[in-house]
Structure 1
């Protein structure tokens, strides 16, 4: 699929936006969510959009909602408080909305990959819900999740990983409770029910689950690549 290196966007009509790559997190002016990796940026007034927000289509469909047609909106319909059905986060800006079913999706959530793979042993599959417990919150709960296909696999709510991302973002860039940054490496995820004994197998399991969380984080930020996953790893282990 061809990616336009320069666009004119209706939400920012006075200046053109140029495609850039950044390893520094930014705040998308479109959906109001955090971003990293590819973005569209105005060189004159620093207006920034996720690649997904800058190239949003007027209408899309999604395999999780086969009967739905999602229309793109620059702000929540009717200016009501709405929640993204994927990540359970507030909808404050750009959004895809289904009039028939009243579902809402952030543009970056629409673009979450069905499969995430870090090129090693971590392969995660996106699902609309969990049949087992999330390894961070211990519950099934609403919203999308990533699950591994391994026999001793793990499940991660997109909402849980997003919460951890926001915590690390605030702690690292806005000096909010800096002590949290030191804690995050052991809290991603807090594997409920994991064996409480030492051993290479248990350590490997923790490492794989942490790697899975980083993959989901990079996807939520708009760029599910191993490079960005590495940047996120640095962010949460400062």
Structure 2
């Protein structure tokens, strides 16, 4: 459920308005990159993922059936914490299980278990034995794997692809699009390498892999919608 305007404890000065952007932003709640639907204070340049703006006080996750994750506005304790989904540092809003110590970024906690890319379903796994098409490594973070088992992408790798230089993407619409355009095709070319088949089949395989990538990126950035996938898709053409 979305509201056009909300009040939020993290930004009591002004109300936040539901907004949409095709350029990356940094969420002032979880401190992670985002794109698409979010809540924003235009006076203060303050942004929140929808998952961070309207969080659940507690959640359960299918990967951790014995855990109960509570929402925290800051990482609990004094030791550095990392997200068990993407293995990245936790520096802001987080879902934390007191009994086991697991942590999840809000967007990672709300990652869809299934993504439908129009060609094949992508399923979220805690661990996949097959190597990731981006880094070539097995295991590591949560992964999205296609039902045909041909495409496997670590959540961490997809996040790294955009987060490493998120500030370069963020400042300036023109520069942002250029940077994003340069990074996504590099992954598309990586996906093409293992498939030594006829040219037509290779092209079709890469098209499907690219479409899968679009949907995974959308989900990791907090807005798993076909609209965002379409925006990202235009950068790959």
TM superposition score category, shorter chain reference: 0.7 to 0.9
> Can you give the 5+ residue segments of structure 1 that lack an aligned partner in the other structure?
none
**Which residue of 142, 145, 149 maps to 1:144?**
142
Stretches of structure 2 lacking an aligned partner (at least 5 in a row): none
Superposition RMSD in Å: 2.4
Hey, what's the Cα distance between the residues in 1 that align with 2:121 and 2:112? 11
Q: How many residues align?
A: 233
Task: Give the aligned partner of residue 196 of structure 1.
Answer: 196
Alignment partner, residue 46 of structure 2: 47
Q: Give deviations 1:126-146, integer Å, cap 9, x for gaps.
A: 111102221222221222110
Report matched runs for 1:48-197 at 5 Å.
48-118=47-117, 120-150=118-148, 153-167=150-164, 169=166, 172-173=169-170, 181-182=181-182, 184-188=184-188, 190-191=190-191, 194-197=194-197
SS of the aligned residue for 2:111 comes to: coil
Secondary structure of the residue that 2:233 maps to in structure 1?
helix
Shift of 1:195: 3.0
Question: TM-score, normalised on structure 1?
Answer: 0.88
Partner of 1:135, secondary structure, is: coil
CA contact (8 A) 1:23 1:231 kept: yes
* Cα offset, 1:167, TM superposition: 4.8
Give the C-alpha shift of residue 24 in structure 1.
2.2
Instruction: Give the secondary structure class of the aligned counterpart of 2:203.
Output: helix
- Structure 1 pair 191–52 and aligned structure 2 pair: CA distance change class (3 A): same
Q: In the alignment, is the contact (CA less than 8 A) between 1:172 and 1:181 conserved in 2?
A: no
TM-score, normalised with respect to structure 2: 0.88
Change in CA separation of 1:211 and 1:19 when aligned onto 2, cut-off 3 Å: same
The more displaced of 125-134 and 187-196 is: 187-196
CA distance 1:213–1:25, shift in 2 (3 Å): same
Q: Which shows bigger deviation, 224-233 or 59-68?
A: 224-233
